[in-house]
Amino acid sequence: MKLRNLLSAVCLIASFASSFLPASSVAQVNKDLLVIDLTIKTAKLKAEVAADANTRTIGLMNRFSLKPDQGMIFVFAQSEPLGFWMRNTFVPLSIAYIDSKGVILNILDMKPQDESSHPS
């Protein structure tokens, strides 16, 4: 796992299972999102906040690079089983599934453009 992309895709969830988030068929990129400072142990990151259905659907799609300390946090109103894929995502990412108490439940490494589900 590459620490520089540890939280390139962080999810706030507590359950385990899988489902898909819908993918956008148009080449879109999230722009002008709120960016927060996030620290996990010794890793300090700048995380874009994807807090609504549209920004979560687009996620980090259509990005060709990320800074070593850059990532995204996906925020959900409630805990539920989810799965993420890498459609139209061109950089390798690691995804951390985090429960409502902030505990990391699992970290998975994901390959660019892999459309298989990475379940929570």
pLDDT above 90 for 97: yes
Q: What angle do CA 30, 70, 81 make, to 5 degrees?
A: 65
Confidence of residue 5 (pLDDT cuts 50, 70, 90): very low
Contact 60, 8 (CB under 8 A): yes
Which token pair is 108? 């998975």
For residue 59, what pLDDT is reported?
95
User: In the chain, what's the furthest Cα-to-Cα distance?
Assistant: 37
12-32 residue pLDDT tens: 332 222 233 444 445 789 889
